Structure 1
């Protein structure tokens, strides 16, 4: 802790004290610290494993675009660590969704979708800038834009299924490769990467995004799928009232058509969203398979929260309806029958804020 404070203080040219642990993650330490002048900053220190270094590069470069997020105040790539503006303790979108005020939850969802859509529009011509910044902060590992991680997860999926005794249709591998490759370089926009509810502060000045560890350019469908699923890779996942997911998705879409007018056409939008739902389901399943032998809460400390098995079963049920991908849809049904069929867990309830919980 003392070493982090000293290094961050040297970056800022001032002494830091009174660190408060903000939670971080297995690969980061995040501290709110007091400055000598009486203000506060947030210090984020990263580990040294390849994925930790990739996260540092992504966050340093993503914040340096100055399109969203807290102001980046200093960088030390020898630690590595970042010093950022302290955005305070405003409620997150997760807080209001898990609360008891339906209007606050609805307003928060709308602000989230609108803010991400506007970020996408502002970013479409800045991809070269992000590449240059990523190279400048490079730590010897490929950036998220340089690594075809969607294709990698798609390629690994059949083997991951075989590891739990699910024999996928032989056509699955080729089908997933086509899903991942189709449109992979179209309708691109910047995203912080992890736009889950707890990474979105609802401040008096509007939506503020945090956590840029996976910042990159992705097809806008990958962000839009967060509206539809909802929240593709997150722990704060319950069901939304009928029609609300579609409304939030349309809020996002209304913004991004300013950059990509073609997306007003359902013939383009709907297939793109369905591909994204399939890819996020593959990504989540591959990552959670090692943990699903024991059902446990999807978050270490937050409550209420779904269990991992509730979350996976809900994702598989949603993805099983994607009949334009027959091998994939059949695989989802196999998972529901041969894996989730033995799980004694209740259905995923609704978000508490809308009175549908439990």
Structure 2
């Protein structure tokens, strides 16, 4: 309660009007998110961040990403001291997750294609804005490296052999070289802007079209890391189920058509296939490093949403797909080993 009072007082001071009727929108361990009524009757969303390293990093990315103005809700005010953002309220529209878990396949398909098209337009519209985002990140700096500056792909690559060994899976010869090559290709080649976490629940399908939410990891990254969300789907999410093959293909093609506008060489099928292979590997290593050490006991990937896969189901699904990767034999062997030595016991 005291935290809520502090957040409301700071937001009211920034806006120059009182705030009332706060409704908790869920937030996370890093954030408190409240829908509030202003003194003149408007509805706004207040998002405050805790003081932990990940929260401070998320504030810098989101404040910079939303100020860039390429997508997302309109940023109304920023308090870098608390830290806190005040955003326009986009209303109670359904998310892509709502449609995918619903009972209308046509609405789900339409929402999925709108999501891929929106991400593609965002990428295409971000040409030449890298330095501007970097300057905004410095403006909202909290002393923590941004997500773009943190070498998370290299960190995961360094931990992956340890995770394999702890699970009783032999480390294949040549794995380190493949991890380095795949990470370099998947992480830096063909950059474009992204909110970072483009999962199905981080958007709203409003009457005015798709509106993206959650810019806590906003950065310029390889278009392949975003495109992999279409193929896997969704690379770092809890909402993971198989898509009908034609829907999956169409979704990826919609995003690729926009990415080609800024990187024409991506029209080459061999180039696209190699980049997607490495991006899928990067995200599968990420899931393994994050989830496998916590998977001794199975459990749902989301505390409340149903249906939802369990940790075991998600990891098995990821490993089965990654074990079929071509051109990275050591990585494929590692994922085959995880299926044989770990998933087989579940």
TM-score range, shorter chain: over 0.9
* Equivalent residues in 2 for 1:102-113, closer than 5 Å: 102-113=105-116
CA distance change for structure 1 residues 94 and 213 in 2, over 3 Å: closer, same or farther? Answer: same
Is the counterpart of residue 90 in structure 1 residue 116 in structure 2?
Answer: no
Partner of 1:258: 261
* Equivalent residues in 2 for 1:276-315, closer than 5 Å: 276-315=279-318
Structure 1 residue 314, shift from structure 2 partner: 0.1
Separation (CA, whole Å) in 2 of partners of 1:338 and 1:183: 28
Aligned counterpart in structure 2 of residue 153 of structure 1, from 140, 152, 156:
156
Q: What secondary structure is seen at the aligned counterpart in 1 of 2:81? A: coil
Per the normalisation by structure 1, the TM-score is: 0.94
Q: What secondary structure is seen at the aligned counterpart in 1 of 2:36? A: strand
Per the normalisation by structure 2, the TM-score is: 0.97
Separation (CA, whole Å) in 1 of partners of 2:185 and 2:223: 13
- Note if contact 1:187-1:219 (Cα within 8 Å) is conserved in structure 2: yes
Structure 1 residue 255, shift from structure 2 partner: 1.3
- Note if contact 2:70-2:122 (Cα within 8 Å) is conserved in structure 1: yes
* Equivalent residues in 2 for 1:169-184, closer than 5 Å: 169-182=172-185, 184=187
Partner of 1:351: none
Unpaired runs of 5+ residues, structure 2, are: none
Partner of 1:124: 127
Q: What secondary structure is seen at the aligned counterpart in 2 of 1:182? A: helix
Partner of 1:333: 336
Separation (CA, whole Å) in 2 of partners of 1:55 and 1:236: 22
Partner of 2:24: 21
Separation (CA, whole Å) in 2 of partners of 1:3 and 1:146: 31
Separation (CA, whole Å) in 2 of partners of 1:160 and 1:87: 42
- Note if contact 2:186-2:225 (Cα within 8 Å) is conserved in structure 1: no
Separation (CA, whole Å) in 2 of partners of 1:323 and 1:139: 42
Separation (CA, whole Å) in 1 of partners of 2:129 and 2:48: 27
Deviates more, 1:84-93 or 1:281-290: 281-290
Q: What secondary structure is seen at the aligned counterpart in 2 of 1:198? A: coil
- Note if contact 1:124-1:188 (Cα within 8 Å) is conserved in structure 2: no
Separation (CA, whole Å) in 1 of partners of 2:294 and 2:116: 31
* Equivalent residues in 2 for 1:263-274, closer than 5 Å: 263-274=266-277
Q: What secondary structure is seen at the aligned counterpart in 2 of 1:155? A: helix
Structure 1 residue 183, shift from structure 2 partner: 5.7
RMSD: 1.0
Aligned counterpart in structure 2 of residue 36 of structure 1, from 34, 39, 45:
39
* Equivalent residues in 2 for 1:206-245, closer than 5 Å: 206-245=209-248
Unpaired runs of 5+ residues, structure 1, are: 344-358
Structure 1 residue 149, shift from structure 2 partner: 1.6
Structure 1 residue 170, shift from structure 2 partner: 3.5
Structure 1 residue 223, shift from structure 2 partner: 0.6
Partner of 1:356: none
- Note if contact 1:155-1:177 (Cα within 8 Å) is conserved in structure 2: no
- Note if contact 2:186-2:224 (Cα within 8 Å) is conserved in structure 1: no
Q: What secondary structure is seen at the aligned counterpart in 2 of 1:227? A: helix
Is the counterpart of residue 317 in structure 1 residue 320 in structure 2?
Answer: yes
